[in-house]
């Protein structure tokens, strides 16, 4: 005769469901807050990094060189700023994923 699984009492099922919903709620909160913080950090980086590059190269006016058509300065400036923004984005994405995983387990 096969053994049939015993039904779990109703309070145990309700407790497990409440735990899952709480964990999902925390995961959603971590994802939303992490996304907002990530957007703020990327915007801050895109505002701060061009000014930093201008201060690090005092003998070179990047905006004037780009306006004159100097493609080398434009490519260097764009690549450095893009790489830094991409780096900030990767760090923020890792932090958001870690927060979501922590909330789910």
- Domain range spanning residue 90? 20-104
Is residue 11 situated within a structural domain? Answer: no
Question: How far apart are the two ends of the chain, measured CA to CA in Å?
Answer: 38
Report the number of distinct structural domains present in the chain: 1
Is residue 98 situated within a structural domain? Answer: yes
Q: Give the mean pLDDT of 85-100.
A: 88
Is residue 57 situated within a structural domain? Answer: yes
CA distances from 57 to 15, 52, 82, 90 (A): 61, 9, 18, 27
pLDDT of res. 86: 92
pLDDT at 13 > cutoff 70: no
Give the predicted TM-score (pTM) of the model.
0.68
Per-position b or e across 7-17, b if 16+ CB within 10 A of its CB: eeeeeeeeeee
Q: Give the mean pLDDT of 5-26.
A: 73
């Amino acid at each position: 005769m096969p053994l049939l699984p015993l039904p779990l009492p109703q309070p145990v099922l309700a407790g497990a469901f409440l735990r899952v919903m709480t964990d999902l709620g925390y995961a959603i909160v971590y994802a939303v807050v992490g996304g907002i913080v990530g957007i703020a950090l990327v915007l801050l980086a895109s505002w701060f990094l061009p000014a930093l590059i201008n201060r690090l190269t005092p003998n070179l006016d990047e905006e004037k060189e780009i306006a004159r058509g100097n493609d080398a300065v434009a490519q260097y400036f764009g690549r450095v700023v893009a790489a830094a923004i991409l780096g900030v984005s990767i760090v923020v994405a890792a932090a958001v994923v870690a927060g979501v995983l922590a909330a789910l387990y």
